[in-house]
Structure 1
Amino acid sequence: MAGKKTTSKTVSATKTATRKNGANAKPRHIGLVAADKWLEPFENAIQGRHNHALEKISQFTRKGKKTLSDFANGHEYFGLHKTLKGWVFREWAPNATEIYLVGDFNDWQESDKYRLKRIEGTGNWELKLSNKALKHGDLYKMKVRWNGGEGERIPAWCRRVVQDDSTKIFSAQVWNPDEPYVFKKKSFKPCKSPLLIYECHVGMAQDAEKVGTYREFTENVLPRVIADGYNCIQIMAIQEHPYYGSFGYHVSSFFAPSSRFGTPDELKELIDTAHKNGIAVIMDIVHSHAVKNEIEGLGNFAGDPNQFFYPGGRHEHPAWDSLCFDYGKDEVIHFLLSNCKYWMEEYRFDGFRFDGVTSMLYYSHGLGEAFCNYGDYFNGGQDDNAICYLTLANKLIHEINPNAITIAEEVSGMPGLAARFEDGGYGFDYRMAMNIPDYWIKTIKELKDEDWKPSSIFWEVKNRRSDERTISYCESHDQALVGDKTIVFRLIDADMYWHFKKGDENETAHRGIALHKMIRLVTAATINGGYLNFMGNEFGHPEWIDFPREGNGWSHKYARRQWNLVDNKELDYHYLGDFDKAMLATIKSIRSFQNKPVQEIWHNDSDQILAFSRGDLLFVFNFSPVRSYTDYGFLVPTGSYDVVLNTDAKEFGGNGLADDTITHLTNFDPLYMEERKEWLKLYIPARSAVVLKKN
């Protein structure tokens, strides 16, 4: 920790230190402010948040005598563990007066043998048992008593929860197989050049109208991800959740992988297989709130509704019908940080996409706020405890694995979220570029095709802070849910059902196919960190997502992915899937593509033409729905250029109007000889885009 203390002193000193050059000395700012002068009025607040994190790090590491990782070992102490001497079970329940372990092993009856003892001077309880007292597969719960009440509870730190098929009751389960899964891939380093994420949900990742399994995903879906060229999967709904239709966002048991998809060992096998094939695995982790359930969850764990959660008006989330963690409690921070470490070490996840970060940052949860200026991020409406927790989580995750990936799902634009901790940032590697899907939805809904402006498109896909990396995407699971529409559904709607067979396409289908590819290409081509796609959207999956519920007769019809559509070469879906694969291959053909500057070459809103370059690649877009251009010229570096990708190619469902076998030579112009630029003249069909590579 000595290095950390040196860094913190340096950061603190940057605020007030001056260059020793006389009266005109300029103040040196913390890195976040140095990178953005408009943050200068808020430097004290930024420094204060940074100092808060430093103080907590000092406290939790005992002033550097230990590490943050040492602090985050709660999962090794609490919960149920098999030791050489027998079983030991511990739980944090300060408000409890009595706790019994009940289950299959004692006919679910209280007995002195299974009665926990309070550890003196703490809110912790402990039970020690012989090796034969419990066995693999036993179901169990806690029977908790407190002043004025009692109830059955699933332990907060339990690692396995199962639901009875007939009664639908959830119970904890002893998980201690004779031959636990052993990881075959001993070490793994994620590829981030660039990060290409396939967002997925194990349960709905199969054709059949049922809940899919970890093993089915490993065998049937993972090969598709590998073949398509993605290098990372972001898995949703891993933490146990009572209601399947919550998409995994109402978590009850934070340390238990959802048993509805299979066993812990099968999840480990999935991750191990992904690693063996060069695929990183990150988890959509939910630390922004928790389900209200009391028996299955943490809602009223031991007679104190506020044991894990904020009291009073901040107790419940007004929009999500859930409970808000109290990030000001050290025990809660311990619980959540240990949760991060547990998933990384036990299952070898490569990192996390943190859900609902906006909700964590603000007392208002960001609801009803416009966030129009920097003052909105420093007006006293921010939860400094939550900010501190997120900062510590990032410090911990990267201490455990320096190559880990952390992504913030955050819509307000809070500056510093994905900036370095040493610069006063919160330490995320990336933030979601949530403006981009909103822009595409608004454009498709509100503008006629002839009113699409390349200048606006180009500005939006590049709208980000220079000191923070982003994950760009056209649409995620949010746009695929009932109540919203995917891009392909907005473009084609019901005509997908009647005019998506080869030879039967109408103008609406042709338009949708063309724009679906162009929207993806301009979004992916301008990334500064990574690109994300939700499973099925790459080939224009026609159905929205509607989980089994009373309103649809508990049907799984829309909680699945119809891979048969993209596999059917008589349908148009494979055109979109094939293009997605070719697009990713084109991006990966340039080393460190995401670090190459995006250099605008030309835009003309009247012509609806946009051109820009990255490295040796030249991207040209014609968004006009009706106008094709012959010999449209651009000033580019002198040389020859070959077409490497064309949205209008017949193999991608286009018209094939251009001859992509031709090598394009630049034309000399004496006016630009010193700049070493010449004219490149292209035929650009309407509603198409082409990528050329300089030889």
Structure 2
Amino acid sequence: MSLLARLLPLLMVFRSTSPEKAAPVTVRDIDLPVLLPEETVTDLETGPFGTAPGPGAQPPAPEPAGPAAALDPADRERLLSGAHHDPHALLGAHPVAGGVVFRALRPLAEAVAVSVDGTRAALDDLGDGLFGAVLPLDGVPREYTLLVTYQGVEHEAEDPYRFLPALGDFDLHLITEGRHEQLWKALGAEPMEHQGVTGTRFTVWAPNARGVRVVGGFNCWNGTGHPMRSLGSSGVWELFLPAVGEGELYKFEITRPDGGRNVRADPMARRTEVPPATASIVHASHHEWGDAEWMERRPRRQVHTAPFSVYEVHLPSWRPGLSYRELAEELPRYVRDLGFTHVELMPVAEHPFGGSWGYQITGFYAPTSRMGTPDDFKHLIDALHRAGIGVIMDWVPAHFPRDDWALAEFDGRPLYEHGDPDRAAHPDWGTLEFDYGRREVRNFLVANATYWCEEFHIDGLRVDAVASMLYLDYSREEGRWTPNVHGGREDLAAVAFLQEMNATVYRRNPGVVTIAEESTAWDGVTRPTSDGGLGFGLKWNMGWMHDSLVYMSKDPVHRKYHHNEMTFSMVYAYSENYVLPISHDEVVHGKQALVSKMPGDWWQQRASHRAYLGYMWAHPGKQLLFMGQEFAQGAEWSEAHGPDWWLLDPAYGAEHDHRGVRDLVRDLNRLYREVPALWQRDCDPGGFAWVVGDAWEDNVFAFLRYDEEGRPLLAVSNFSPVVRHEYRIGVPDDVPAWREVLNTDALRYGGSDVGNPGPVHPDYPGAHGRPASVVLTVPPLATVWLRPA
């Protein structure tokens, strides 16, 4: 009894299934290797071509029956035009009346033959690169190869269309549900061994496509011979290509619903060409991590009650021209020397235009190739971790560019973006907003967030432009937006997405922190999702940044009229968990570098810069400082040349001009780490108390910070150019003496060296509502910190 006869009852059962409940099933849908013998799919008593060869005899090659291999004209047209949903049903080997039909689609081939168990049979040329023949076999062979002749040279190759799907049903179920938390392991290009053969599995989500083909260097960018199959209602297309491995360039050629075609980079590509080239690259990681101690310790570190001072870096311009591996030699050493606990990297995901600084991303799963490979980037993170430095990464789920080779109308219709053009278009940046209401799009982004944490050991995500996601009317005129179901302006789908992202990241990656750049007064940004909040760990304090810089930019004689700009932050300081950000946004586009915002001559500018940093490091909240501001660079930052490192050259000029400011930042971070009062109770109102908050005529501010044991630090800032002699400040009466531990006016920082060199003893009467007081000499344009002696 032949195999086909044994399978017919099963086929009849499958074919009788209601079409509403299941798609038509062919022999390929049955797991033949499970049902059939190991060597070949044949009748048990016969050889590979239906005869019983004698010992050592080779079976004769059959006469091909060419016309029987011809395709239905409609199938043929769809296959050749790249619009067939199931090319595996046409190509490869299939049982038919009279044997097994073999078909191959090999454009530009002169001849194709099939080899089964060493026996060769030629296939007929059916035109347009199609070859086929019916061979008198009793069953589909488990294994066979194609012998393809190009320009007189024969090449042996595996047939991609003899393989079962390389993506499991459970993966497809999770993708359809929008719940695949490791989506990068299911979609994209995955080098692997499949059915005993080494190659690459290509998968892509394109539910609106009429057909998808893989193109790349391995097929001379002609995808005719490599159409993919649609895996049911998931919208996923799949093809396993034997012998295609790491380093191969590829894209997807998509036949749109209107019949047109376009070529797209892989949305899930883990490596890309160096821009302006746009191809995706097959990649597998070989990096061996050396940060086990860091990763083991990370979950035990609670960011809200730990030191957290961040050095923000634009990697391509920090040291222009350096690769990831070269940066790994310099960046950790520099950041560690200055004492920052973390670096924050402006977006490193692939982006076509360098002038966007990485904020217009096309390759969400690929670190930019401008500085090396993904493994090179891992090497940099590894080096930072081994130096004891955490890594925060800017993450941009708010929008993406319109490049016609990337995500925009990916499969011929709006897919990643909203279907309503008014909702899809970002009004400020000329980009497209994601459709957060579509579960597969949410999955793409949620999985991307955890991808960077799991695959690259990123310690935190700073989420860009959260406000633009939260509001339906963000930067939109009246009539250009539609209220939500409750009549409000909140984007409920975006809220749900952010909650899901935060909950997933924290669940899967203990010790990681998410940080929101959210510029409005949205309630509950850092409240847990279980309590209805967005679930972020920290939020940039844009209000403090704006108000304090407005104050500092005023001439000291006018600062008294803006005194509340410096005190207002404490009205809401504990409404969220805050980071105080002096970021790249504050030192570009005509806003001037931090030191250049300060009024007065060069000495006064540097003094105000130092005093401001001292005030900032003492204020409740975590700190972030953009590169170049740590040494008072006077020019605005430019991504073309990065920081003005030459200012630190001793040959440039006065010893303390710029190096003194950098020395101050080093000391600020050292003391910050050493004094728990400065970070342990950042989120606890009991960790702060005003002493002098109303001395507007003097431009003086003074406050106390307390650690969990009640040990205080006194911070006093004088933002006038006048020395305040014998300035009385109230203090607790349980401290017998105070010692000045930081003075931004110190000579070594470039100051005038006015201060309090010895212990300062409290006396009576008290002041500012305190039982005791101290009398200080407060230097001009300076901040001093005092601790119990």
**TM-score > 0.5, shorter chain as reference:** yes
1:636 and 1:680 in contact (8 A); partners too: no
Which residue in the other structure is 1:561 paired with?
643
2:721 and 2:781 in contact (8 A); partners too: yes
Question: After the TM superposition, which residues 342-357 of structure 1 pair with which residues of structure 2 at under 5 Å, given as runs?
Answer: 342-357=451-466
> Secondary structure of 1:323's match?
coil
Which residue in the other structure is 2:288 paired with?
182
> Secondary structure of 1:655's match?
coil
Specify which of 632, 637, 650 is matched with residue 728 of structure 2: 632
Which residue in the other structure is 1:360 paired with?
469
Distance 1:367 1:565, change over 3 A: farther
CA RMSD of aligned residues (A): 2.7
1:481: Cα distance to partner? 1.7
Distance 1:71 1:176, change over 3 A: closer
2:677 and 2:705 in contact (8 A); partners too: no
Specify which of 381, 385, 388 is matched with residue 271 of structure 1: 381
Which residue in the other structure is 1:154 paired with?
265
Distance 1:626 1:535, change over 3 A: same
Specify which of 593, 606, 612 is matched with residue 678 of structure 2: 593
Question: After the TM superposition, which residues 308-327 of structure 1 pair with which residues of structure 2 at under 5 Å, given as runs?
Answer: 308-327=417-436
2:466 & 2:669 partners in 1: Cα distance?
29
User: 1:263-300: per-residue Cα shift (whole Å, max 9, x none)?
Assistant: 111110111111112211111000000111121x2012
Specify which of 393, 399, 403 is matched with residue 507 of structure 2: 399
Between 1:76-85 and 1:250-259, the stretch displaced more is: 76-85
1:534 and 2:626 are equivalent in the alignment: yes
1:461 and 1:523 in contact (8 A); partners too: no
1:404: Cα distance to partner? 1.0
Greater C-alpha Rg: 2
Distance 1:340 1:635, change over 3 A: closer
Which residue in the other structure is 1:303 paired with?
412
Specify which of 605, 609, 612 is matched with residue 516 of structure 1: 609
Specify which of 313, 327, 330 is matched with residue 217 of structure 1: 327
Letter in 1 for 2:289: F
1:450 & 1:409 partners in 2: Cα distance?
31
1:522 & 1:633 partners in 2: Cα distance?
17
Letter in 1 for 2:666: K
2:495 and 2:534 in contact (8 A); partners too: yes
1:641 and 2:641 are equivalent in the alignment: no
1:98 and 2:180 are equivalent in the alignment: no
1:589: Cα distance to partner? 1.8
Which residue in the other structure is 2:44 paired with?
none
1:309 & 1:328 partners in 2: Cα distance?
8
Letter in 2 for 1:619: A
> Secondary structure of 1:224's match?
helix
TM-score by length of 2: 0.70
Which residue in the other structure is 2:281 paired with?
173
1:232: Cα distance to partner? 1.0
1:455 and 1:610 in contact (8 A); partners too: no
1:338: Cα distance to partner? 1.0
> Secondary structure of 1:359's match?
helix
Give the paired residue count. 584
1:366: Cα distance to partner? 5.3
1:477: Cα distance to partner? 0.4
Specify which of 251, 254, 261 is matched with residue 364 of structure 2: 254
User: 1:86-129: per-residue Cα shift (whole Å, max 9, x none)?
Assistant: 321110001111211111111111233x2211112331100012
Identity %: 28
Larger RCO: 1 or 2 (CA < 8 Å, sep 6+): 1
2:191 and 2:246 in contact (8 A); partners too: no
User: 1:225-256: per-residue Cα shift (whole Å, max 9, x none)?
Assistant: 11111111111121110000001111111111
Letter in 1 for 2:272: V
Question: After the TM superposition, which residues 679-690 of structure 1 pair with which residues of structure 2 at under 5 Å, given as runs?
Answer: 679-690=773-784
Which residue in the other structure is 1:666 paired with?
762
User: 1:537-594: per-residue Cα shift (whole Å, max 9, x none)?
Assistant: 11112222334xxxxxxxx3xx312223235374411111111111122222222633
2:719 & 2:771 partners in 1: Cα distance?
25
Between 1:450-459 and 1:241-250, the stretch displaced more is: 450-459
User: 1:495-522: per-residue Cα shift (whole Å, max 9, x none)?
Assistant: xxxxxxxxxxxx6011111110111221
2:264 & 2:392 partners in 1: Cα distance?
30
1:262: Cα distance to partner? 1.2
1:158 and 1:255 in contact (8 A); partners too: yes
1:465: Cα distance to partner? 5.2
Distance 1:538 1:152, change over 3 A: same
2:612 & 2:591 partners in 1: Cα distance?
18
Distance 1:567 1:395, change over 3 A: farther
1:191 and 1:231 in contact (8 A); partners too: no
2:221 & 2:459 partners in 1: Cα distance?
39
Distance 1:629 1:304, change over 3 A: same
> Secondary structure of 1:522's match?
helix
2:311 and 2:626 in contact (8 A); partners too: yes
User: 1:623-665: per-residue Cα shift (whole Å, max 9, x none)?
Assistant: 22235322534343341011100011101111012342x1111
2:551 and 2:562 in contact (8 A); partners too: no
1:138 and 1:174 in contact (8 A); partners too: yes
2:274 and 2:368 in contact (8 A); partners too: no
1:262 & 1:72 partners in 2: Cα distance?
27
TM-score by length of 1: 0.79
1:416 and 1:468 in contact (8 A); partners too: yes
1:689: Cα distance to partner? 1.9
Distance 1:455 1:228, change over 3 A: same
1:198 and 2:311 are equivalent in the alignment: yes
1:445: Cα distance to partner? 4.3
1:532: Cα distance to partner? 0.6
Which residue in the other structure is 1:427 paired with?
535
1:470: Cα distance to partner? 0.4
1:464 and 1:470 in contact (8 A); partners too: no
1:447: Cα distance to partner? 5.1
Letter in 1 for 2:213: Y
Structure 1 portions without partners, runs of 5+ = 1-60, 370-375, 493-506, 548-555
1:211 and 1:260 in contact (8 A); partners too: no
Specify which of 566, 570, 589 is matched with residue 482 of structure 1: 589
> Secondary structure of 2:280's match?
strand
1:461: Cα distance to partner? 3.9
1:444 and 1:491 in contact (8 A); partners too: yes
Distance 1:310 1:567, change over 3 A: farther
2:233 & 2:772 partners in 1: Cα distance?
79
1:310: Cα distance to partner? 4.3
1:118 and 1:124 in contact (8 A); partners too: yes
2:548 and 2:566 in contact (8 A); partners too: no
1:633 and 1:680 in contact (8 A); partners too: yes
Letter in 2 for 1:653: G
Question: After the TM superposition, which residues 399-418 of structure 1 pair with which residues of structure 2 at under 5 Å, given as runs?
Answer: 399-418=507-526
Specify which of 250, 270, 290 is matched with residue 400 of structure 2: 290
1:455: Cα distance to partner? 4.8
> Secondary structure of 2:203's match?
strand
